[in-house]
Amino acid sequence: MNKIDIKPNEVAVYALGGLGEIGKNTYGIEYQDEIVIVDAGIKFPEDSLLGIDYVIPDYSYLVENIDKVKGLVITHGHEDHIGAIAYFLQSVNVPVYAGPLAMALIRNKLEEKQMFNRVELHEITDGSVINFGKTSAEFFRTTHSIPDVFGIAIKTPVGTIVETGDFKFDLTPTTKQKPNLWSMARIGEEGVLLLMSDSTNAERPEWTKSEAWVQKTVDKLFSQLKHGRIIFATFASNMNRIKMATDAAIKNGRKIAVFGRSMESAMTNGRALGYLDIPDDALVEQSQIKNIPDDELLIMSTGSQGESMAALARIANGTHKQVRLKPKDNVIFSSSPIPGNTASVNAVINKLEEGGANVIHGKLNNIHTSGHGGQEEQKLMLSLMKPKYFMPVHGEYRMLKVHAGLAEELDIPKENTFIQENGDVLAMDGVNPPRLAGHFPAEDTYIDGSGIGDIGSVVLHDRLKLSQDGLVIVTATIDLKKKEILSGPDILSRGFVYMRESGDLINDGRHVIFNTIRKAMSQKSASESDIRQAIIDDLSKYLHKETARKPMILPMLIMV
């Protein structure tokens, strides 16, 4: 680890995740012997990360400084901000502070991991102030695509650091939780040393449309779709859309059935917290939907991102146990594909269309709006906070760069804006210009099943190679002392060639291996590892020459 040089009169800011990427949001503010962490998110894996469930930050720096970490403060309940919380708390068990909905979701995650009784949880609201000693955290309400969303002002003796979380300025939110413009303006007037602001939509020169705009479309669709079931797919965490759909269903005399574990959890939490007004008699059990007329049923479903195991994909593929697609079904996608998911979403849409369903999706249908502010809202946040220094966060590099340009347009000097990388430590004393005070490792940690960080680049390279060119297994029994081949060699192909139609290739490959083993054994100090490597080298060359492919080769030798 590089040496971190934070002076006693400086406050330091860094990211463990969230810079140069979408997701994994985890930020640290450090002053003397106190560290406050903002969010503990995951990132969903790219297509090249075969078999990986999701990606979390490396918490090594925090583990090494565990005595300094005073608390984890949460901006809101989306997975890219709380999805890694169980893994975070396994490494750094500190008090957690979150709004009502985020706290309900966190409790669910901790109960699944049987950690609930080992963690200290505190629920906050708009205006809450948490004192840690030398530092404190003030929560101010913003708006997003989920209720109970907050920006956080971390106050230190050096100055105030503001982390906005995900935000847009929605003045007509369906949750009735309006952004607290007064608090933002007050914090700005009191003085902000550094603003860390959401950059997700920095490339969009617009003011993001309100959720009320989508609600009008949803209401219109439900009143027009008189025939057939309505299957409504959205993020389970998007409580706004769930409320729109369920309210419209009740208004139009439809019963509501819920499919997908995360959607069931969202409905339970939403009703318990008062965000969803759904009478018990409006809900039907999954097993009872066959008794409800099609034009009187709404199915709330997960799978708006084309996830292969989600309810919607299984409905489309005909593998869902309770729901069979019908020609008059109306499927509404109230979301837009996350980058990287477009192909899988389109595949599900095509399957639904092939099954005869009426699929409603895309921008032209006005059934989705972003939860992130465009350039105009990012400018408003900068104007309200009036920071001395600016650090764009929550976005890929190009987004951070555009956001930095917006700050310059608002008269924040270019030299006062810092585009950082995960692990960079930015130190400020409030008088002199900020400086880079070192860097700590902030590489990705991969979650694969129950494994945490046990999958590295070598394993991922092997998985990629297997997926592209397949596997060739070589078996042989060898008496190394007598330098004899007792049986074999034999070749088995998996994902490389169809053996019944590749007899000549397999037989010639066996001859190559036979000669390779005899040649390797003739060496004076030949070992099993020498023979294995010789087989890999020679068979690879032969197969590449014959097929232009390079399968993984796995020698399985029995040494007598």
E strand or H helix at 438, and its extent?
Answer: strand 435-439
C-alpha–C-alpha distance, residues 285 and 228, integer Å: 19
- 163 CB-contact burial (10 Å; exposed 0-12 / middle 13-18 / buried 19+): buried
Residues 6+ apart with CB under 8 A from 198: 164, 165, 166, 167, 372, 373, 378, 393, 394, 395
Q: Is 369 known to sit in a ligand binding site?
A: yes
> What are 6's two structure tokens?
């934070």
Whole-number Å distance between alpha carbons of 306 and 317: 11
Contact 294, 253 (CB under 8 A): no
Query: Can you tell me the distance from the alpha carbon of 40 to that of 57, in angstroms, rounded to the nearest whole number?
Result: 8
**368 annotated among ligand-binding-site residues:** yes
- What is the spatial distance between Cα 442 and Cα 424, in angstroms, rounded to a whole number? 9
- Those residues whose C-beta lies under 8 Å from the C-beta of residue 481, and which sit 6 or more positions away, are none
What is d(CA 149, CA 151) in angstroms, rounded to the nearest whole number?
7
User: Does 372 count as an annotated binding residue?
Assistant: yes
Q: Rounded distance, CA 363 to CA 82, Å? A: 28
Q: Does 122 belong to an annotated binding site?
A: no
- 160 marked as part of a ligand binding site: no
- How many other CB atoms are there within 10 angstroms of residue 286's CB atom? 16
- Give the number of residues written for the chain: 560
Of the candidates 66, 69, 62, 71, the one whose C-alpha atom is nearest the C-alpha of residue 17 is: 62
- Residues placed in the known binding site for substrate: 368-372
- Residues placed in the known binding site: 368-372
